[in-house]
Amino acid sequence: MELTQALQQIQPSYIREILMDAQAEGVISLAGGLPDGNTFPIALMDESLTSLPQKPALFQYGQTAGYGPLLDYFRTQFQLPEHHESLVCTGSQQALDLIARAFVNPNDKVVMEAPSYLGALQVFGLAQANVISVSQQADGPNLVELESCFAEQAPKLFYAVPDFHNPTGVSWSLEVRQKVAHLCQQYGVTLVEDVPYRELRFMGEMLPLVSSFCPESALVLRSYSKIAAPGMRMGVVTGKAEWIAPLVKVKQCADLHSSIPMQAVLLDLLNHQNFPAHLETLRAIYQERYLCLAEQLTAKLPQGCHFNPVEGGMFIWLTLPECDDFALAKAALQNKVAVVPSSVFYKQGEKVTPALRLNFTNATTDELVVAVERLVAVIKAECKVI
Amino acid sequence: MELTQALQQIQPSYIREILMDAQAEGVISLAGGLPDGNTFPIALMDESLTSLPQKPALFQYGQTAGYGPLLDYFRTQFQLPEHHESLVCTGSQQALDLIARAFVNPNDKVVMEAPSYLGALQVFGLAQANVISVSQQADGPNLVELESCFAEQAPKLFYAVPDFHNPTGVSWSLEVRQKVAHLCQQYGVTLVEDVPYRELRFMGEMLPLVSSFCPESALVLRSYSKIAAPGMRMGVVTGKAEWIAPLVKVKQCADLHSSIPMQAVLLDLLNHQNFPAHLETLRAIYQERYLCLAEQLTAKLPQGCHFNPVEGGMFIWLTLPECDDFALAKAALQNKVAVVPSSVFYKQGEKVTPALRLNFTNATTDELVVAVERLVAVIKAECKVI
């Protein structure tokens, strides 16, 4: 059977392949976007999980929009206005896919920063969107490029990860947030604000959501994969009711609804009195690992390599001297350290900055020290640096 | 924001609306396709559910194809040949959606029996397929129509529910199964065999899967919503590896993977020594309810109404004298019995047989007796029969 034209365009995910090899004996993986399994708040979910057998109603079909009490929680927690709604999704990945299916016709224009989240590139690729890239700076997207793109091309959506961007770790400044919100309103572009890493800020000050400056022009995607547990597949999208309704309609086709027992367990977790303390612990662990990785890189990297410090999230973006980033990542894997080459984060045909995405949340500090040694040896060999 | 052209074509699901109203105080619902919540094998899942906190690895990201041990179970249980694979889905509804997204371009031809499962009509509608209907007889699709359709129109897929069809309850004869498999092979049409009700046979003899006669020309969709619990959202699609691989690729965009804790609990349930006994009990309960509903209808229905007996599943298909089936269903709801009018099971513009789908799995026998009284009163008033 021939594949759809849309699917024929999608490249296989090199990350998935790397993640397979990264599981080999002795490999230290800085490749995935995995939270540390030892940090999962299982103890806080214990009572909720063990009480599931006493709640048979959770096992019946439910509403597509989500488990009622969880939707109520979101309304309060996110201070949603009366005319906004939530839709619980099978991970925030699904929210992104539903948005593309509800609003993006083939050739519709979608703006993204380059580099960008691979999963979003795949979703908009499958939707056959015309993806337009704007370059990213240390404090967010290049606003001159963004405005001329909005003005000249009239895109439908701007997909953005303003807090601890994947893969670069960039967090937008307050000024950029306000300006982007203004541009979205001015040019009638819908902001898709994806904030899976927002709660992982371990330094600096939390800044308002971009969408808080343009709530009627935005859809916000939140994930519980980084602060609860990804295996549960829980995410939520919020926005104007008139935009959530079509997402519900597509989700009805896609999977009827997400697992109700998982939604109930998530709600109990979010309401647990010790959940804020769990977040504090998580941030402290990730900060320690980030500081270790940053220190090791600073001490050992050869010239021509560079990274900007981050204040949260899961990644360091290491730019490299001119080199074949794929070959480098493969050589690193042979030297038992897994990393992701920058090419996978750009749409096809785009100019790629040679770089590596380094995850610091799923390896111990001891492992990070060894990983940097292995990586530096490979960079020196492959990039012909001193 | 304007909706995609694909989504603009999708009608809101009248069933979802009815299901909302069907929950009103005092209404007896024969409308949904809900299993009886009291039959859920919660006791058999108790140990598995309460041991989840001891299995933190289940809460990490997993493989898109599914939880390894569950995939192993499927390989053995379904006796999959070496070159076939399974993909665990968020309900079998997702499997159907993935198939449409991987293989159906706009205007590609998809054959379905009329009437047909509403969720499939929606999925193929969203894929902008050219849906071709063949009529259904008491033992399956009209084979003459089917063959000329295959021969003249060269469709890509034939979507079918051969065991206790939704909405009609029809189960294909052995001869029809063999003939359809032969036609699919002969004309290069892929059979999408959807068997959510297959395990709910309470009378007669289980017949082979249609796909057992054409394994290289079929994708099989199984659901655990009717025999385990729908709130968990667990289904699986099996078929040739070369057809499963693209489904995995689309699922990676759609939701990365389905809930791993739910997959682990499902596996424990399927392996539980008392699971076969649970199925026996379930079938006995549903048989009793079916026999009650059939008896009540036979005794009380006015002339011009008709239904064929069923040997399993969840539905009786009650054909009516010429009438407005929507108006009838609305009047029934006012008389506190919820049913689904036949129109929703046909694609737009198709000739509709006036009928009602009556579910017998989610009401007690006492409720079924009252429901038939209420329904018959409405039919007599609305259809102008004696």
Yes or no, beta carbons of B61 and A230 under 8 Å apart: yes
Residue A308: per-residue pLDDT: 97
**CATH number of the domain to which B285 belongs:** 3.90.1150.10
DSSP string, B13-43: -HHHHHHHHHTSTTPEE--S-PPPGGG--HH
Residue A217: per-residue pLDDT: 98
Chain B's closest residue to A250, CA to CA, is: B7
Yes or no, beta carbons of A259 and B231 under 8 Å apart: yes
ipTM: 0.96
Residue B38 placed within a domain: no
Q: Which residues of chain A have pLDDT under 70?
A: 12-19, 385-386
> Same domain for A211 and A311?
no
Yes or no, beta carbons of B40 and A59 under 8 Å apart: yes
Residues in B closer than 8 angstroms to A61, CB to CB, are 32, 34, 225, 230-231
> Same domain for A195 and A330?
no
Residues in B closer than 8 angstroms to A56, CB to CB, are 37-38, 40, 42
Yes or no, beta carbons of A59 and B252 under 8 Å apart: no
Chain B's closest residue to A125, CA to CA, is: B253
Residue B386: per-residue pLDDT: 54
Cα of B103 vs its chain's centroid, Å: 21
Yes or no, beta carbons of B231 and A60 under 8 Å apart: yes
Q: Which of B249, B271, B293 is the last residue of a domain?
A: B271
> Same domain for A266 and A281?
no
Residue A219 placed within a domain: yes
> Same domain for A305 and A216?
no
Chain A's closest residue to B65, CA to CA, is: A16
pLDDT tens, B276-331?
999 999 999 999 999 999 999 999 999 999 999 999 999 999 999 989 998 999 99
Residues in B closer than 8 angstroms to A231, CB to CB, are 58-62, 259-261
Residue A115: per-residue pLDDT: 96
Yes or no, beta carbons of A89 and B255 under 8 Å apart: yes
> Same domain for A334 and A298?
yes
Residues in B closer than 8 angstroms to A32, CB to CB, are 61
> Same domain for A108 and A209?
yes
> Same domain for A175 and A151?
yes
The rounded distance, in Å, linking the Cα atoms of A85 and A248 is: 11
Residue B23: per-residue pLDDT: 77
Q: Among residues B178, B144, B177, B152, which one has the least CA distance to residue B162? A: B177
Residue B261 placed within a domain: yes
Chain B's closest residue to A51, CA to CA, is: B50
> Same domain for A67 and A156?
yes
> Same domain for A337 and A243?
no
Chain B's closest residue to A188, CA to CA, is: B1
Residues in B closer than 8 angstroms to A2, CB to CB, are 103
From B105, B225, B229, residue closest to A4, measured CB to CB:
B105
Beta-bridge partners for B358:
B316
Residue position matching structure tokens 């025999």: B227
Chain B's closest residue to A101, CA to CA, is: B4
Q: Which of B223, B256, B271 is the last residue of a domain?
A: B271
> Same domain for B23 and B89?
no
- Phi/psi of residue A66, nearest 5 degrees: 135, 175
pLDDT for B181 beyond 70 = yes
The alpha carbon torsion through A301, A304, A310, A313 (nearest 10 deg) reads -80
Cα of B130 vs its chain's centroid, Å: 21
Residues in B closer than 8 angstroms to A257, CB to CB, are 233
Residue pair A104/A127 in contact (Cβ under 8 Å)? The answer is yes
**CATH number of the domain to which B107 belongs:** 3.40.640.10
Residues in B closer than 8 angstroms to A246, CB to CB, are 3, 7
From A34, A59, A104, residue closest to B61, measured CB to CB:
A34
Domain that holds residue B353: 5-30+276-382
Instruction: Give the confidence band of B32 by pLDDT, cuts at 50, 70, 90.
Output: confident
Residue A375 placed within a domain: yes
From A61, A64, A252, residue closest to B230, measured CB to CB:
A61
Q: Which of B15, B44, B50, B61 to mutate to test the interface with A (most CBs of A within 10 A)?
A: B61
Residues in A closer than 8 angstroms to B119, CB to CB, are 252-253, 256
Residue A106: per-residue pLDDT: 96
**How many folded domains does chain B comprise?**
2
Residue B302: per-residue pLDDT: 93
Residue pair B35/B226 in contact (Cβ under 8 Å)? The answer is yes
From B49, B101, B255, residue closest to A90, measured CB to CB:
B255
Q: Which of A271, A305, A321 is the last residue of a domain?
A: A271
Q: How close B383 gets to chain A, by Cα (Å)? A: 33
Yes or no, beta carbons of A53 and B42 under 8 Å apart: yes
Residue B97 placed within a domain: yes
Residue A166 placed within a domain: yes
- Average pLDDT, integer, range B66-86: 98
Residue A259 placed within a domain: yes
Tell me the angle at which helices A118-126 and B241-254 cross, rounded to the nearest 10 degrees: 110
> Same domain for B308 and B375?
yes
Residues in A closer than 8 angstroms to B56, CB to CB, are 37-38, 40, 42
Q: Can you give the length of chain A in residues? A: 386
Yes or no, beta carbons of B262 and A262 under 8 Å apart: yes
Q: How many beta-carbon pairs under 8 angstroms link A with B? A: 211
Residue pair A156/A103 in contact (Cβ under 8 Å)? The answer is yes
The rounded distance, in Å, linking the Cα atoms of A157 and A99 is: 10
> Same domain for B197 and B325?
no
Chain B's closest residue to A63, CA to CA, is: B16
Yes or no, beta carbons of A260 and B231 under 8 Å apart: yes
Residue A48 placed within a domain: no
From A231, A249, A254, residue closest to B259, measured CB to CB:
A231
Q: At A135, is the secondary structure helix, strand, or coil?
A: strand
Q: How close B169 gets to chain A, by Cα (Å)? A: 21
Q: Among residues A306, A298, A340, which one has the least CA distance to residue A117? A: A340
